[in-house]
C-alpha cells in the first residue's frame, strides 16, 4: 500500500518511471566518438584474447618439449591428474 502511494506521488510529479532493472541511457551509439571508442575497445579485446590463448598454451611447443624431456607433466596435465583423484 505504501509502495502504490509512493508511485502515485512520483508519477504526479511529472517524472518518467522506469523499471528498476533498466537504466535510461543518453549514449548515442551512432556518434563518431562512440564508434571510435567501440573500435578501440574491440582491438583491446582481440589483443586480450590472443594473449589468453598464448597463456593457455603454457609457453608454446618449445616449452612443452623441454618440460616433457625432463620427465615432467605440463601444468594442465598435472591438474587433470589431480582432478581425477
Q: Does 3 or 56 have the greater pLDDT score? A: 56
Q: Does 9 or 49 have the greater pLDDT score? A: 49
pLDDT at 13 over 60: no
Please state the rounded mean pLDDT for residues 14-41. Answer: 84
**pLDDT tens for each residue of 32-64:** 999 999 999 999 999 999 999 888 877 788 888
> pTM of whole model > 0.85?
no
Cell numbers describing residue 30: 551512432
pLDDT range class, residue 2, cuts 50, 70, 90 = very low
Q: What is the 3-state secondary structure (H, E, C) of the chain?
A: CHHHHHHHHHHHCCCCCCCCCCCCCCCCCCCHHHHHHHHHHHHHHHHHHHHHHHHHCCCHHHHHHHHHHCCCCCHHHHHHHHHHC
CA neighbor of 27 nearest in space, from 38, 39, 43, 18: 38
The pLDDT, as a whole number, for residue 12 is 47
Please state the rounded mean pLDDT for residues 57-75. Answer: 87
Cα 51 to its chain centre, rounded Å, is 15
Amino acid at each position: 500500500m505504501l509502495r502504490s502511494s509512493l508511485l502515485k506521488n512520483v508519477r504526479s510529479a511529472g517524472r518518467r518511471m522506469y523499471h528498476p532493472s533498466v537504466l535510461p541511457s543518453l549514449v548515442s551509439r551512432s556518434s563518431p566518438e562512440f564508434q571510435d571508442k567501440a573500435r578501440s575497445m574491440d582491438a583491446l579485446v582481440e589483443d586480450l584474447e590472443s594473449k589468453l590463448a598464448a597463456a593457455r598454451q603454457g609457453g608454446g611447443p618449445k616449452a612443452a618439449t623441454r618440460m616433457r624431456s625432463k620427465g615432467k607433466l605440463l601444468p594442465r596435465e598435472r591438474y587433470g591428474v589431480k582432478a581425477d583423484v
